[in-house]
Amino acid sequence: MSTAREDALDIFLYALKASRVEPAMERRLVCRDGVMEIDGHRYVLGGYERLVLIAIGKAAHTMATPFLWRVGDVRERFEGIIVGPEDEAAPSQGFRVYRGGHPSPNAGSMEAAADVLRTLQALTERDLVVFLISGGGSALMERFLEPGVSLETIAATHKALVESGAPIAAINAVRKHLSAVKGGRLAVAAAPAEQLTIFVSDVPAGELDALSSGPTFPDRSSVEDVYRIAKEYGLEERLPVEIGKKITERTLGETPKEDDAIFARSQWVVLLDSASLEDAGAERARELGWHVEIDNHCDDWSAERAVEYLMGRLGEMRRLRERVCLLSAGEVTVQVPRGATGRGGRNQHFALIASEQIAGSDVVVLSGGSDGIDGNSSAAGALVDGKTQARAEEIGYPVSAALAAFDGHTLLEQLDDTIMTGPTGNNLRDLRVLLAP
């Protein structure tokens, strides 16, 4: 019989495999006799003068490839731009590929933004643009509204936001109001063309305007939200001075909202989200003989609070029966002290906090990101058990020290407790697997 550690890893890897983009595109996107259809939205491709595809995000290439394959012969008529995190070849001659920066924008992010805006602004009402949007796009493509802001300031702004401890919707509310390519502004650039956006979502259900900062979606956040968020998370002290000033002086402009006429020819479809991860994880856990519950209440909570909550839930389940498995999808937040230089991310941080709580017990805790990259490390996440804390003591790097330095990866790598998948070309948020035999 397999061990609880082996099962936790099996459940996570199965969930990743079952949630791949390619089969999802194959199931949902149909193209017959030049008519493309997805979720009841039909497009007679021969009726458009230009067919443009813009793919942005960590899953840009993995979405673009099956999309072009599904449209069959019409693929020759598609032209466009792919903005992803890796160096990959263009799918055909009419495509330009950019490698953007993540978690902070780089020169490629800026070049991509300029090219995307130029391309969209040339479209007319006779054209169709299909956007393929996945998470990570906020950094992979960027240009600030204010002209002349340096790449260094832009990157420092992103870093300050990501490390602020704010949930993704709040971080992206700020980004949207600073950027020329977020908060519906790509939809503005593409109007009056017909627009279809297909999402691979790494944000909570119902918050599509936060996905890669909603470049094609009506923004639900307002400038007033930005000023409130800045206060709540102390952003004015964290942000570069010239950006912080825009907030203190309240000079930000509003983004396009739901009733804006520019969205009259837009449709949006979610291809995959974290529900796919948790459903597949639950299926596999049951096959392995575990009694499963899914609990996402702690989505967007701080890592400390989420550990406490999930350990409490696991304890309740365990009082009723043996072999219990608690699954939780979503993300936790971490507030990184300014100047911290450790390696890691929210998943490894969560796992290390959990390792202190399960020390000496038979409980196993896994926390992993579906994109395969946790924070600034090369791991997807970590898998800890009742011996992790003691093993850390033995090698002279206590868990508490690694947590304080936000250096979870360095410790977990030495303990061989990291999960290494490599970048998955997907991005559906994180999955936590807690097993009590």
Ligand X SMILES: O=C(O)C(=O)CO
CB-nearer residue toward ligand X: 246 or 429: 429
Shortest Å distance, C-beta 214 to ligand X: 9
**Is residue 203 a contact residue for ligand X (CB under 6 A)?**
yes
Question: What number of chain residues touch ligand X (CB under 6 A)?
Answer: 12
CB-nearer residue toward ligand X: 66 or 135: 135
Q: Which of these ranges, 47-55, 209-217, 339-347, 359-367, lies near ligand X under the rule CB under 6 A?
A: 209-217
For residue 398, say if its preceding peptide bond is cis, omega within 30 degrees of 0.
no
Q: Which amino acid is at 406?
A: F
CB-nearer residue toward ligand X: 296 or 414: 296
Kind plus residue range of the DSSP H or E element containing 269? strand 266-272
Q: Which amino acid is at 276?
A: S
User: Which stretches of 19-96 are DSSP H helices?
Assistant: 21-28, 60-70
Strand order in the sheet with 381-384: 291-294, 324-330, 430-436, 364-369, 381-384, 418-419
Among 45, 168, 189, 392, binds ligand X (CB under 6 A): 168
Shortest Å distance, C-beta 57 to ligand X: 7
Residue 322: CB atoms within 10 A of its CB come to: 9
CB-nearer residue toward ligand X: 215 or 435: 215
CB-nearer residue toward ligand X: 212 or 266: 212
**Is residue 154 a contact residue for ligand X (CB under 6 A)?**
no
CB-nearer residue toward ligand X: 198 or 384: 198
Distances (CA, A) of 180 to 111, 128, 376, 434: 13, 21, 26, 42
**Is residue 212 a contact residue for ligand X (CB under 6 A)?**
yes
**Is residue 211 a contact residue for ligand X (CB under 6 A)?**
yes
Q: Which two tokens stand for residue 34?
A: 């030049």
Q: Are 406 and 307 in contact (CB under 8 A)?
A: no
Q: Which of these ranges, 5-13, 211-219, 272-280, 287-295, lies near ligand X under the rule CB under 6 A?
A: 211-219
249: left (phi over 0), alpha (psi -120 to 50) or beta: alpha
Shortest Å distance, C-beta 47 to ligand X: 32
State which of positions 49-108 bind ligand X (CB under 6 A): none
Residue the block writes with tokens 């390519």: 181
Shortest Å distance, C-beta 77 to ligand X: 30
Q: Are 96 and 119 in contact (CB under 8 A)?
A: no
Q: For ligand X, what does the binding mask look like between residues 112 and 141, x meaning CB under 6 A?
A: -----------------------xxxxx--
Query: How far is residue 201's CA from residue 211's CA, in Å, rounded to a whole number?
Result: 7
Query: How far is residue 81's CA from residue 69's CA, in Å, rounded to a whole number?
Result: 16
In DSSP terms, 267 is beta-bridged to 196
State which of positions 332-361 bind ligand X (CB under 6 A): none
Shortest Å distance, C-beta 270 to ligand X: 13
Among 7, 202, 300, 331, binds ligand X (CB under 6 A): 202
Q: Are 45 and 75 in contact (CB under 8 A)?
A: no
Shortest Å distance, C-beta 94 to ligand X: 26
**Is residue 172 a contact residue for ligand X (CB under 6 A)?**
yes
Q: Which of these ranges, 23-31, 208-216, 352-360, 387-395, lies near ligand X under the rule CB under 6 A?
A: 208-216
Query: How far is residue 356's CA from residue 399's CA, in Å, rounded to a whole number?
Result: 7
Shortest Å distance, C-beta 42 to ligand X: 28
Among 213, 355, 370, 426, binds ligand X (CB under 6 A): 213
In the chain, the N- to C-terminal Cα span, in Å, equals 12
For residue 423, say if its preceding peptide bond is cis, omega within 30 degrees of 0.
no
Q: Which of these ranges, 81-89, 210-218, 311-319, 331-339, lies near ligand X under the rule CB under 6 A?
A: 210-218
Distances (CA, A) of 181 to 309, 357, 383: 37, 43, 37
CB-nearer residue toward ligand X: 70 or 102: 102
Distances (CA, A) of 91 to 136, 213, 228: 21, 26, 43
Shortest Å distance, C-beta 203 to ligand X: 5
Shortest Å distance, C-beta 419 to ligand X: 19
Q: Which residues bind ligand X (CB under 6 A)?
A: 135-139, 168, 172, 202-203, 211-213
